[in-house]
A and B are shown apart, each in its own frame.
Chain A
Amino acid sequence: MFAEVTVRSMFSRPCYLPLHVMCVFEVYISLSCAFCRHGKRVEKLKMLFGLAVNEAKLTSQRTRLKNQNGFHLCRLSREVYTFVSPSRMSGSLLNMFSKGTKRKFSDGGEEISEEGLVGARVASSYSLQRQSLLDMSLIKLQLCHMLVEPNLCRSVLIANTVRQIQEEMTHDGSWHMVTEAFCNAGQSPSERLVATEVLCRSREQDAEPKVFSVISYEGCREEEVVADETLCSVSVRDTVSNVYLAGRMGQCWEKNELSGIERDEEVLEDSRLGSGEDEEINTEDEASTEGPKTIGQVFGTFEIKNGSPGPDSALEELFSDVDTSYYDLDTMLTGMQSAPKMGPYDLLDSLGPSHGSPSIVSTPNCRSDLNELDHIMEIIVGS
């Protein structure tokens, strides 16, 4: 009786993403045997992720299990886990997600302070909470009930919230900075968006809220990709520290946190981006006048905090016993549940008139796109 753990990573090289991005490993644990005991599952997880904690309770929905790289494993729902980078574990996010696991924040808190994220622990900065809200909304969109058709009204409201946040980020200029930095300036627009297209299925050339067309009500995969796109775009913040600033001061999350936010945010961004160990991060406050950085530089500035031999090898090690070619979402989930996982609007859209965008609902498309994704990531990362 053995629990086979299948891990499917959204990014093949997640370590190259900056820490303040939520690195998304969606770990689907499919039990090959129906009678696998709870204890065995825990053991397997411990073995896989090098857990030191022996009271890892899979019973609580928001368990935090740390692996050796300092990523926290958050359990989002039954059999769906997500790695969350420590910098993401801001107070607000923890408060939102944890019911009764607040005490564990002290673990995360230590980590954060080690990285010099003293400011992050304040956790009440507008942009941080905005980002947390965005992440939470994306998770809500993805996790839909499989048996019954999900509530369309709720999904629409969440999607609108996501759009609103992303529009605001665009206004802030953070979005543009992000997409510019993401690709070389020399590339033609179409090339520039190759990566994003594969990742995000966005066909528009500008990085305006149009990228939110991927918040489509089609296949689940697109919504996952939305997460990718959002996260990776937002993440590549270059070394400009002031991207969170700008016009949105008026719309503060909670009014009592408005005071002195500007200064704090700059400190916050600096410390977060660099993880405290990267001297390339400059702390200039003005808008960056530097040219866009190369992908390698951008990604290179963001290493995994622990200073392990290479983020690559650490993760390789992590997933060495895992079948990473298992990309097919449908097949994987079919092993888990009877109904194929569909996004909230996938089924609805299948009834509607077909429109221009190709919808990835069939298996081969899914797989090929994910392979393409992998390929693109390799190019970008220059491994």
Chain B
Amino acid sequence: MGEDSESPKINHSFLRDYVTEADVISTVEFNQTGDLLATGDKGGRVVIFQRETESKGECEELGESGEYNVYSTFQSHEPDFDYLKSLEIEEKINKIRWLPHQNAAHFLLSTNDKTIKLWKVSERDKRPEGYNLKDEEGRIKDVSTVTSLRVPVLKPTDLMVEVRPRRIFANGHTYHVNSISVNSDGETYLSADDLRINMWHLDITDRSFNIVDIKPANMEDLTEVITAAEFHPHHCHLFVYSSSKGTLRLCDMRESALCDKHSKIFEEPEDPGNRSFFSEIISSVSDVKFSHSGRYLLTRDYLTVKVWDLNMEKGPVETYQVHEYLRSKLCSLYENDCIFDKFECVWNSNDSVIMTGAYNSFFRMFDRETGRGVTLEAWRESSKPRAVLRTRRVYSGGRRRRGDVGVDSLDFSKKILHMAWHPAENIIAIAATNNLYIFQDRVNAENQ
């Protein structure tokens, strides 16, 4: 191990893995049309992929089946140092959110633990040529050599993608920012850290509005933190935030300026039969997502995903077991800190299927209509490009089939935490450590 190295550095194993550590993808997000896919990694970089439009048309499969290729890469956040606390601020990108497309350029928000930045991604594929006073290289021409006047024309050039920071929203958070969410009004967005939620205007960087504050007067009384927050997709006054105690709070900003008092609280009463010392930890909600319709909420806690109806607060309408076989292993998972992993969950385009990640490079999809779930694997060696993904199974009792994986042979270092689903089609992007997998659903029967 790196711990016995003689250099006076503090954390050796981290340094040894530094090269690959920075490549670990920490967030994945499609834009509203699905043409662009952004990923953020632990090194503070953002990579944007663009879908290639199929120009061949008929000879390919019906419908668009473009591949995603790298469109642009830029360094979003740099490692920083908080001089007041003598602590480093990680440059890891916690979340990326695209803004609604309004003009030729694309805008996205990216955040690390402390600072949110608005980036403008614009293309340039033409440039003016034929200046009168400048020559091709841009040097000023000698006026005496100019004999005639001409109008500069735009000539196509190679595509150039420029990414520039347009706004930097700094110093808004004392604690670590875990979520950002763009409002449906297109002008504001919220950012949530462990104890507070702020609302910003996209054009104003020196002020933000605090809308939720759960910090107790005495930090010793702290028992609950905010784990995720999101605006309602249609109602610009509603947002929801989840807590480490497994509660969801829906807040209406019309009620009061400070939304400490929730409008609705969604909480499932604890099952006394399953009670253990880890009950609270595994009930902590790691991600919350509104459905596209705005009627349902999807939450992910350690062992399950739950679908909640906004109209019913007393419990979820659907619960799906993601990896129930881990329930007996909670103690070891607590010891190796895996129990604190924060998995994300996503809806598909028409809210009929939900997806979330698990360990061993597995991810799960649940069909809400049938209630059935399927386990798939995102692992390079087991799938060739364009091969059909086969379903996997974790063996935990009962009849063991070939290809089943035993619970004890699960690799807990290969976790699928981040994922995204295309807003309109069945295309999913899965982040597996430092690899990004993009899977498409080929509905056509002849391609099976």
Q: Which residue of A lies closest to B8 (CB)?
A: A34
Cβ–Cβ contact A97 & B335, under 8 A: yes
Cβ–Cβ contact B1 & A149, under 8 A: no
Cβ–Cβ contact B220 & A340, under 8 A: no
Q: Give A60 Cβ to nearest chain B Cβ, in Å.
A: 8
Known: A133-B277, A217-B220. A152 touches B225 (CB 8 A): yes
Cβ–Cβ contact B220 & A153, under 8 A: no
Known: A161-B277, A254-B328. A153 touches B194 (CB 8 A): yes
Of the listed stretches B84-92, B100-108, B129-137, B247-255, chain A binds B84-92
**Contact partner, A161, options B7, B88, B174, B280, Cβ 8 Å:** B280
Cβ–Cβ contact B174 & A348, under 8 A: yes
Q: Which residue of A lies closest to B336 (CB)?
A: A99
> In the complex, A159 Cα to B224 Cα: how many Å?
10
Of the listed stretches B22-30, B61-69, B211-219, B318-326, chain A binds B211-219
Chain B 175-204 per-residue mask, 1 if CB under 8 angstroms from chain A, else 0: 110000000000000000011000000000
A287 contacts chain B at the CB level, 8 A cutoff:
no
Cβ–Cβ contact A153 & B244, under 8 A: yes
> In the complex, A254 Cα to B10 Cα: how many Å?
39
Known: A345-B219, A351-B174. A148 touches B87 (CB 8 A): yes
Q: Which residues of chain B have C-beta atoms less than 8 A from A340's C-beta?
A: 86
Cβ–Cβ contact A35 & B6, under 8 A: yes
Cβ–Cβ contact A251 & B275, under 8 A: yes
Q: Which residues of chain A have C-beta atoms less than 8 A from B74's C-beta?
A: none
> In the complex, A152 Cα to B38 Cα: how many Å?
27
B223 contacts chain A at the CB level, 8 A cutoff:
yes
Of the listed stretches A229-237, A270-278, A295-303, A352-360, chain B binds A352-360
> In the complex, A347 Cα to B87 Cα: how many Å?
9
Q: Give A121 Cβ to nearest chain B Cβ, in Å.
A: 18
Q: Which residue of B lies closest to A35 (CB)?
A: B6
> In the complex, A217 Cα to B174 Cα: how many Å?
15
Cβ–Cβ contact A36 & B1, under 8 A: no
**Contact partner, A96, options B82, B244, B331, Cβ 8 Å:** B331
Cβ–Cβ contact A164 & B277, under 8 A: yes
Interface size class of A (residues with CB under 8 A): 35 or more
Known: A147-B88, A148-B88, A339-B87. A136 touches B335 (CB 8 A): yes
Known: A148-B87, A161-B278, A164-B280. A34 touches B6 (CB 8 A): yes
B379 contacts chain A at the CB level, 8 A cutoff:
no
Q: Which residues of chain A have C-beta atoms less than 8 A from B244's C-beta?
A: 153, 156-157
Q: Give B384 Cβ to nearest chain A Cβ, in Å.
A: 35
Cβ–Cβ contact B277 & A130, under 8 A: yes
Q: Give B244 Cβ to nearest chain A Cβ, in Å.
A: 5
Q: Which residues of chain B have C-beta atoms less than 8 A from A349's C-beta?
A: 219
Cβ–Cβ contact B335 & A96, under 8 A: yes
Chain A 24-58 per-residue mask, 1 if CB under 8 angstroms from chain B, else 0: 00000001001111100100000000000000001
**Chain A contact surface mostly:** loop
A218 contacts chain B at the CB level, 8 A cutoff:
yes
Cβ–Cβ contact B278 & A215, under 8 A: no
Known: A59-B4, A97-B335, A351-B174. A153 touches B340 (CB 8 A): yes
Cβ–Cβ contact B281 & A157, under 8 A: yes
Cβ–Cβ contact B7 & A34, under 8 A: yes
A263 contacts chain B at the CB level, 8 A cutoff:
no
A337 contacts chain B at the CB level, 8 A cutoff:
yes
Q: Which residues of chain A have C-beta atoms less than 8 A from B217's C-beta?
A: 353, 355
- How many residues does chain B have at the interface if contact means C-beta atoms less than 8 Å apart? 47
B332 contacts chain A at the CB level, 8 A cutoff:
yes
Q: Which residues of chain B have C-beta atoms less than 8 A from A353's C-beta?
A: 217
B145 contacts chain A at the CB level, 8 A cutoff:
no
Q: Which residues of chain B have C-beta atoms less than 8 A from A149's C-beta?
A: 82, 85, 87, 89, 113, 176
A151 contacts chain B at the CB level, 8 A cutoff:
yes
B76 contacts chain A at the CB level, 8 A cutoff:
no
A213 contacts chain B at the CB level, 8 A cutoff:
yes
Q: Give B87 Cβ to nearest chain A Cβ, in Å.
A: 5
**Contact partner, A146, options B10, B174, B215, B276, Cβ 8 Å:** B10
**Contact partner, B218, options A337, A350, A355, Cβ 8 Å:** A355
Cβ–Cβ contact A347 & B332, under 8 A: no
**Contact partner, B334, options A38, A136, A146, A253, Cβ 8 Å:** A136
Cβ–Cβ contact A154 & B194, under 8 A: no
Q: Which residues of chain B have C-beta atoms less than 8 A from A151's C-beta?
A: 176, 340
B284 contacts chain A at the CB level, 8 A cutoff:
yes
**Contact partner, B6, options A37, A96, A146, Cβ 8 Å:** A37
**Contact partner, B284, options A58, A153, A213, Cβ 8 Å:** A153
Q: Which residues of chain A have C-beta atoms less than 8 A from B328's C-beta?
A: 254
> In the complex, A149 Cα to B194 Cα: how many Å?
13
**Chain B contact surface mostly:** loop
Q: Tell me the chain A residues, 251-267 only, with Cβ under 8 Å from chain B.
A: 251, 253-254
> In the complex, A349 Cα to B331 Cα: how many Å?
30
Q: Tell me the chain B residues, 336-390 only, with Cβ under 8 Å from chain A.
A: 337, 340
Q: Which of B4, B113, B215, B280 has the most CB of A within 10 A?
A: B4
B78 contacts chain A at the CB level, 8 A cutoff:
no
Cβ–Cβ contact B280 & A160, under 8 A: yes
Cβ–Cβ contact B176 & A213, under 8 A: no
Q: Give B112 Cβ to nearest chain A Cβ, in Å.
A: 11
Cβ–Cβ contact A348 & B175, under 8 A: yes
Q: Which residue of A lies closest to B12 (CB)?
A: A78
Q: Which residue of B lies closest to A42 (CB)?
A: B4
A216 contacts chain B at the CB level, 8 A cutoff:
yes
Q: Which residues of chain B have C-beta atoms less than 8 A from A213's C-beta?
A: 220
Q: Tell me the chain A residues, 187-235 only, with Cβ under 8 Å from chain B.
A: 213, 215-218
A283 contacts chain B at the CB level, 8 A cutoff:
no
Cβ–Cβ contact B281 & A161, under 8 A: yes
Q: Which residues of chain B have C-beta atoms less than 8 A from A118's C-beta?
A: none
Cβ–Cβ contact A153 & B227, under 8 A: yes
Chain B 223-235 per-residue mask, 1 if CB under 8 angstroms from chain A, else 0: 1110100000000
B311 contacts chain A at the CB level, 8 A cutoff:
no
Q: Which residue of B lies closest to A251 (CB)?
A: B275
Q: Give B83 Cβ to nearest chain A Cβ, in Å.
A: 12
B11 contacts chain A at the CB level, 8 A cutoff:
yes
Cβ–Cβ contact B340 & A157, under 8 A: yes
Cβ–Cβ contact B219 & A348, under 8 A: yes
> In the complex, A159 Cα to B221 Cα: how many Å?
11
Q: Tell me the chain A residues, 142-199 only, with Cβ under 8 Å from chain B.
A: 145-149, 151-154, 156-157, 159-161, 163-165
Q: Which residues of chain B have C-beta atoms less than 8 A from A148's C-beta?
A: 87-90
Q: Which residues of chain A have C-beta atoms less than 8 A from B275's C-beta?
A: 251
> In the complex, A151 Cα to B244 Cα: how many Å?
12
5 A-B pairs besides A153-B284, A164-B277 with CB distance below 8 A are A37-B6, A133-B334, A147-B88, A156-B225, A217-B219
Hey, which bits of chain B sit against chain A, CB under 8 A?
1, 3-4, 6-8, 10-12, 82, 85-90, 113, 174-176, 194-195, 215, 217-220, 222-225, 227, 244, 275-278, 280-281, 284, 328, 331-332, 334-335, 337, 340
Q: Could you pull out 15 A-B pairs where Cβ atoms are within 8 angstroms?
A: A58-B3, A96-B331, A133-B277, A152-B176, A152-B195, A154-B340, A157-B244, A160-B280, A164-B280, A217-B220, A217-B222, A338-B10, A345-B222, A349-B219, A356-B218
Nearest 5 Cβ contacts at the A-B interface: A38-B4, A216-B220, A347-B85, A152-B194, A217-B219
